Structure 1
Amino acid sequence: MFANLSGWHMLILLAIVLLLFGAPKLPALARSVGQSMRILRTEVNTLNDGDAAEPARNSAAER
């Protein structure tokens, strides 16, 4: 989706973001996005660990 963006496109997008949110709010916005990504990764890892452990539980229950 973003593969066709050149440097000018990214500069224009940055200018629009600055206009919408304002420069003082950008660090808080970036921090919020980072925290959300960290929570998402933790949840995905938890789900993947649960899926990997489930067959072991099922085979133990069959005995």
Structure 2
Amino acid sequence: MTHAGAYLHHVPVVDADILSGAALERTVPILRATGYHVDMEFWEGGAGAGCCPPECSTIGD
């Protein structure tokens, strides 16, 4: 993502809320309520696990 001419790298914080799935349980209904389509194939069952540290910070190394 580029903002103001500079690349911004997102490194998610992994805490108990994320690992337990509690954050996901809160986030999905809020996204749906705003009208966003949530493709659960990419969210459930650890599908997003590869984007959390340390994996995401080593991609492309």
Bigger strand share: 2
Larger relative contact order (Cα-Cα within 8 Å, sequence gap ≥ 6): 2
TM score, norm. by length of structure 1 = 0.29
> Greater CA radius of gyration, 1 or 2?
1
Query: Normalised by the size of structure 2, how large is the TM-score?
Result: 0.30
